[in-house]
Every structure is written in C-alpha cells, then in structure tokens.
Structure 1
Amino acid sequence: MKKRKHILKVLTDRFLKGELSQQEDELLEAFIKKEYQQSTVQSTSHLDKIQISNHIWSGIQANIQKTPKVIYMPYIKYVAAACIVIAIAIPFLLNRTQYEYLVTQNSIDSIQLPDGSKIYLGANSSLKYPINFKGDTRKLTLECGNAFFKVFPDKTKPFIVISNDIETKVLGTSFNINTSKSRTEVVVATGKVNVSSPSNSIDLIPLEKTVYKNHQLVKEKVFTNEFSSWFKGHHNFKDTQLNKVTELLAYKYNIDFSYDGNIEETQKITIDISPNESLSQILENLSFITHLNFTLHDKKVIVTNS
C-alpha cells in the first residue's frame, strides 16, 4: 500500500509539471480509468468538474491507507490538484484513439482494417494502426519496412499513411510504400495518390512513383508491376529477367540486392516460388539456376559470379 501511495504521488506530481513519460502516462491513465469506472458518476457530459473530481477523490481515498496528518496533508495537495485537472481531461482520456502494432520478422503478414481496407506487410516491417478510425480521416503509420495498401473508398474520410516525413493521402486506391530511415518510396498501382513532404507535394497515377531523398520528393516512372504482386503466396516466373525476380523478392522480404559489375541482370530465368519456401531456400534455388552466388548479409543480398 505504501508503495502504491508513493507511486501515485510521484505520478501526480510529474503530471502537473508536464513531465510524464509515455509509460508513466499510461500507468496514471489506467489508475484514473479504474477509479472513474468504480465511481457512481454515470455521465460526464452535464456534471460540474468539481463534482466529478470529488467522486474520483472519494475512490482514491478508499485506496489510500490513513497516515499521520504531517505526512498525509502534503499528499492531499498533490492528489486534490490532480483530481481537478484529471476531471477536465476525462472526456479526452476516455475517447483517446487506441493503437495496435503489426510487426513482422522473416515472413509477410496482412490485416483488414475496420473500414474494410486491406494491408499486406512485408518482412522486417512495422505498422501502427488505430483500433477504430475516429474523426474525419483514416490515419496510420508505417514505421519501417514495406507495405501494400488496398484502400476501401470513402470520399468523406481520406486515408492517410505517415512514413517518416512523408504523408500519403488517398480516398480509395491501391499503392505500395517502402520506407527506412534514409529513404521512402511510394508507388501507385491503381487510382490517384497525393504524396507530400515538408518541402513539396506530388500527385501520382498508376505506374508512377516518388522517392524522397535529399529532403525532396522526386517523381519517376515505373517499368514493372512486380510491386503490386509481391504479397501473393505463389509466384511462377517463366523466362523472366533476373532483376525482375529479385525486385519482387526485395519488396517481399524488405531487402536490397547488389549486383557485381560483370553480372548480366537481364538474363532470363524460370523459377517457381511456393508460399512455404524461406528466403534462404529461394536464394539457394536462384544460385542453382543461374550459377551465381547469392549471399545475404544484414538485409542485403550480394550477387557475385561463382
């Protein structure tokens, strides 16, 4: 009980000073919600803020062991002040958007959002998304990696993806984003997409992409549509250029391919890739077919002559 009282005192003190960390904020919020739910107050919409704080204070008192006045009074000062601030913030706390994460390691994954939009997440990627969309936008964050978005149309609520300093905004279309600390790329499969950065804004149509580099968005043409099929489970390549196959693998596994200067990247190969094959197995098969070495090191595949 003493430990609980001390923790609450520290949290309320830091709350009033605006010094709470994210973890401390979540801990204080959990305590507030517990006291609020146990309170006899049924609605905050028409109640006086002081009345609400009194209800919360009653719940807090029930959980604090009585101590001598000389110790108890300073503690009351912190908690009483916090109760008033908390009462004002209750509607915000209870209606704050809650987020979940989809994180992948060596394989891809997918998720369907509440609005019907579908997202395919490549390997070694991280997506932060709301449990439910609130307000007049549908906003989420691709923190790192590769993702393909099939957005359910809704003209009243734009779909927005944040990736580093880039904001990608659509109403209903499909597109791919690949992002890292140093680079972000957006490619459009269908529809129209607006991509903006702190320095400029670009509209994209199918088979166009933009790359964010040197703090500037640059528009480029796309000469393959592999970016729109990397998430499929089965791939059957027949007489396909080697660099087209490795480009799909780059999207799927969030890796880079680097070719030795003497290697013919456009040589045509035939290969069947099944859903249950690992990246190492695929690279071994490519090595057998092409008589080249495919060496994976820290998310980069070096292709050299045998």
Structure 2
Amino acid sequence: MTENDAKLQQIVQFLNNPENKDLEDSINNWRGLTPANEKFYQDIYKIWERAAGSAPLEKLDVNTALEKFSEKIRNQPIVTDGVAVKLNTNIFKWVAGIAAILAIAVLAYMYTQPYALTYITKTSTTAKDSVLLADGSKIYLDVNTTVKYPEKFSGDSRPLYYLSGNAFFKIAKDVSKPFIIYMDNTAVQVLGTSFNISKSAQYVNINVKTGRVMFTANSKTKSILSAGNAASYNLLTNKLTTYSGLNQNSDAWLTGELHFVDEPMANVVKKLEQYYKVDIDLDSNLSRLGKLNASFVNNNIDQVITVLEQTYPIKIYRNEDRLIISKK
C-alpha cells in the first residue's frame, strides 16, 4: 500500500468511526498542513457521503464512476509532511485502490443501516384477490380492500400497512421477525397465525382463528388475543373492546359460509347486511324472535330469505335496494 493509499484509508476509517479521537486528531492535523489537503479531504467526504445513500453496489456503473472520479482528481497534489506529490502516472491504479476502499466503506455502512424498502400498494376493487408475500405469508382480500406491503422484507420485523377493507391473514412463522400490521394509530403484531381484520373509517375489528396476536392502540393500549378471541377498536373514541369467543362469521366473505348458533335476530340481520352488502330493516317488534340455529354455505340472499320465512312468522320483501322484515 502506497503512502497515498494509506492516507485515503485513514480518512475513510475516520468517516466510519468519528468517535475515535486519536484518528480525528491525526486527520485534522494533516488537513491543516495545506489548503490542498483540506480540499482533498472535502472531496473524499463528499464521495463518502453520497455513497452512503446510494443504490446497492450491484447497481452501480463502476467503470463510469471510476472514469469520472479519475478526471476530478487527476494531477491533484496530496501534501504529506510538506512534500507535494502529483498523481499522474499511475492514476487509474491509484483510483482503483480508492474505489476498493470506498466500496468496503459503503458496504459496511449499508450493512448497518435499515434497507430502503420498496412498497407495493394492492387494491381489490370489484373482485376478491390474494397476495403472496416474500416470506410466504398470504393475504386474502375482500372487495374494496387496500394493503401496502414491501416487495422484500429486511431488518428485524415484517411491516405491512392495512389501509381499508376486509382481509384474512395467514402469516408464516418467524420468531426472529415479528409480522406487524399498521392501521392508522393502531398495530397488530404476530409471529405466526391466521386471523381476520376488518377496517372502516370508524372501527378496526380483529378475529383470531389460530395462534396469538398483540393489538396496540396509540402506542399505549395493548391486548393479547388468543385463538377464538376478538377485539374491536373505535378510532374515533379510542375505545378498545375485547371479546372471548370467536366471531365465527368474520371470514365468511372468504369461506362462503355463515353459521348461526343461538343467534338473536338482531345479530343475524347485522351479519346478513355485512355479508350480502344489503340494507335490512327489521321491525322493532320482531327483535325478540327466537334465536337462530342454522348454517348457510354458498347460498344467495334469496335462499336465506326462504329459510327465515319458513322458520319465523315473518314476511320479507324488497323495497328498491332494501329488505324489509315485518310480521306475517
């Protein structure tokens, strides 16, 4: 290694480790010898600073960068102990040494910094869809659902942004990298499980099918939900309500199955509205009808209406885009 290469390496070492006081004193003393030394230091600093925020090394055009760099420093003197040395005869060989040292410095810097993630926004509009993530996790999207996820996961977590809609998650297990779903001022953290999330402008609803998740609101309120449990968070009032007992119809949009066990009529109506996306008016005098025990698998709304009319003394008819339930 030549004296010039040694000085360059010393500068790079200092830039990577500015807390080293001995190295700092040595560099500062050398910089103060001549203006040329100070300019050389500033040039190296600018290159180092830009390299730290550049694209990954495999994407760099090394030959072009090398040529531009050599043009900038050609015939520029370095002064060491008062002796000026011109870089002209072996410029490319010297620059190659610089490039190698800088490459090591940049690589070391990038290795210790968070990787800049490239995010993809996925929206299902008129049809259900699914997304297979880089870690093997899978997300099933209901219509009108939007999520934002990284093309590749890096670092010590697996982040995803849930913007709106209804989705079912099957998360690949990775204890060292928890999967975190961010929704406004709330978050769900999992290690490996399956669960359903429904998000509207007012509510975030979570139903855990397998495993465990941790729900966090406003970075303060936390709740651990195990399989079979659910939670509902009001984004407007910041109120969290947890339930013991899975809402077995939370993923009906995905499975095509509706199951009712001792379900009050008022609750049946709400779930039919959610699943079939239709408004239903229930006569207040009928809210105390007997509880429903029934299962529907891939049935349309007309088939469900027939079963309800055969089970209860009611009549269901349509009024434009609404269903009216009244006493027979």
TM over 0.5: yes
Q: CA deviation digits over 1:42-77, x for unaligned, max 9?
A: 88xxx9xx959x7xxxxxxxxxxxxxxxxxxxxxxx
**Kindly tell me: are residues 254 and 270 of structure 1, through their superposed partners in 2, closer, same or farther at Cα, counting changes over 3 Å?**
closer
Q: State the alpha-carbon separation in 2 of the partners of residues 203 and 296 from structure 1.
A: 44
Secondary structure, counterpart of 1:226 in structure 2: coil
Secondary structure, counterpart of 1:231 in structure 2: helix
Q: State the alpha-carbon separation in 1 of the partners of residues 258 and 233 from structure 2.
A: 32
Identity of aligned residues (%): 26
**Kindly tell me: are residues 201 and 262 of structure 1, through their superposed partners in 2, closer, same or farther at Cα, counting changes over 3 Å?**
same
Alignment-derived partner of residue 68 in structure 1: none
| 1:173 Cα offset (Å) | 0.8
Structure 2 residue corresponding to 1:286, chosen from 297, 304, 307: 304
Alignment-derived partner of residue 120 in structure 1: 140
Alignment-derived partner of residue 127 in structure 2: 107
**Kindly tell me: are residues 96 and 228 of structure 1, through their superposed partners in 2, closer, same or farther at Cα, counting changes over 3 Å?**
same
Alignment-derived partner of residue 22 in structure 1: none
Q: State the alpha-carbon separation in 2 of the partners of residues 202 and 184 from structure 1.
A: 14
| 1:305 Cα offset (Å) | 2.9
Q: TM-score, normalised on structure 1?
A: 0.58
User: Where does structure 1 lack aligned partners over 5 or more consecutive residues?
Assistant: 1-31, 55-87, 275-281
Alignment-derived partner of residue 116 in structure 2: 96
Q: Structure 1 residue 304 and structure 2 residue 325: aligned?
A: yes
Alignment-derived partner of residue 219 in structure 1: 242
Q: State the alpha-carbon separation in 1 of the partners of residues 277 and 149 from structure 2.
A: 20
| 1:262 Cα offset (Å) | 3.4
Q: Structure 1 residue 247 and structure 2 residue 271: aligned?
A: yes
| 1:174 Cα offset (Å) | 1.1
**Kindly tell me: are residues 223 and 210 of structure 1, through their superposed partners in 2, closer, same or farther at Cα, counting changes over 3 Å?**
closer
Moved more, 234-243 or 131-140: 234-243
Q: State the alpha-carbon separation in 2 of the partners of residues 296 and 161 from structure 1.
A: 39
User: Which amino acid is the alignment partner of residue 97 of structure 1?
Assistant: L
| 1:191 Cα offset (Å) | 1.0
Secondary structure, counterpart of 2:176 in structure 1: coil
| 1:186 Cα offset (Å) | 1.3
| 1:286 Cα offset (Å) | 3.2
Q: Structure 1 residue 143 and structure 2 residue 167: aligned?
A: no
Corresponding residue pairs, total: 220
User: Which amino acid is the alignment partner of residue 226 of structure 1?
Assistant: N
User: Which amino acid is the alignment partner of residue 200 of structure 1?
Assistant: T
Q: Contact 1:149 / 1:175 at 8 angstroms: preserved in 2?
A: yes
Alignment-derived partner of residue 222 in structure 2: 201
| 1:127 Cα offset (Å) | 1.0
Q: Contact 2:249 / 2:259 at 8 angstroms: preserved in 1?
A: no
Alignment-derived partner of residue 171 in structure 1: 191
Q: State the alpha-carbon separation in 2 of the partners of residues 253 and 122 from structure 1.
A: 12
Structure 1 residue corresponding to 2:298, chosen from 273, 281, 285: 273
| 1:246 Cα offset (Å) | 6.2
Q: Structure 1 residue 159 and structure 2 residue 182: aligned?
A: no
User: Which amino acid is the alignment partner of residue 173 of structure 2?
Assistant: P
Q: State the alpha-carbon separation in 2 of the partners of residues 255 and 237 from structure 1.
A: 18
| 1:217 Cα offset (Å) | 2.1
User: Which amino acid is the alignment partner of residue 154 of structure 2?
Assistant: K
Q: Contact 2:276 / 2:301 at 8 angstroms: preserved in 1?
A: no
Q: Contact 2:207 / 2:247 at 8 angstroms: preserved in 1?
A: no
Q: State the alpha-carbon separation in 2 of the partners of residues 255 and 160 from structure 1.
A: 33
Q: State the alpha-carbon separation in 2 of the partners of residues 134 and 211 from structure 1.
A: 30
Q: TM-score, normalised on structure 2?
A: 0.54
Q: State the alpha-carbon separation in 2 of the partners of residues 192 and 238 from structure 1.
A: 25
Q: State the alpha-carbon separation in 1 of the partners of residues 319 and 165 from structure 2.
A: 21
| 1:244 Cα offset (Å) | 5.4
Bigger RCO (CA 8 Å, 6+ sep): 1
| 1:268 Cα offset (Å) | 4.9
Question: 1:24-63 counterparts in 2 under 5 A?
Answer: 39-40=61-62, 51=69
Secondary structure, counterpart of 2:189 in structure 1: strand
RMSD over aligned CA atoms reads 4.1
Tell which structure's C-alpha radius of gyration is larger. 2
User: Where does structure 2 lack aligned partners over 5 or more consecutive residues?
Assistant: 1-53, 73-105, 310-314
